[in-house]
Amino acid sequence: MARKRIVCITRRFKDEDPDRHLSHVGIGDDDGWRELLLVEEVMAHLRRPQGDRFYVRGRDGWEAEVTLGPCFLCRRQHEILRSAPDLTASDKLLSLAACGDN
């Protein structure tokens, strides 16, 4: 089991998902992302007791664990990736920049 840092996110296009859920997350460090994972892969790891664990880090160095949680925006109940809130964002994961070219 490894602990991996999520440094960026990619959202689905509005025409395929009106709620713009996450499709991918970038794993890396302060220098950028090195590995792009499907959200479904991350969710599968989090469901397994020995799966990898993920976190996000704010500019102030504060870290928040990424977990599974309910989607509060959708009518149909389903799980999404979430992280803890802080004083500036209700979900640190969603406040990350989009994954671009490295």
Q: Which residues of 70-101 are buried (b: 16+ CB within 10 A; e: fewer)?
A: eeeeeeeeeebbbbbeeeebebbbeebeebee
Please state whether the predicted TM-score (pTM) of the whole model is above 0.75: yes
Q: What is the mean pLDDT of residues 27-50?
A: 95
Q: What is the mean pLDDT of residues 70-97?
A: 77
Greatest mean pLDDT range, 9-18, 41-50, 89-98:
41-50
Cβ–Cβ under 8 Å, residues 19 and 74: yes
Q: Quick one: pLDDT band at residue 21, thresholds 50, 70, 90?
A: confident
The CA distance from 96 to 102, in Å, is 16
Q: Quick one: pLDDT band at residue 15, thresholds 50, 70, 90?
A: low
Interval 53-69: pLDDT, tens: 999 997 778 888 999 98
Rg (C-alpha) for the chain, rounded Å, is 13
The CA distance from 45 to 67, in Å, is 10
- Give the residue from 96, 93, 100 showing the smallest Cα distance to 43: 93
Q: How many alpha carbons lie under 13 Å from residue 46 in its C-beta half-sphere?
A: 19
State residue 88's pLDDT score: 60
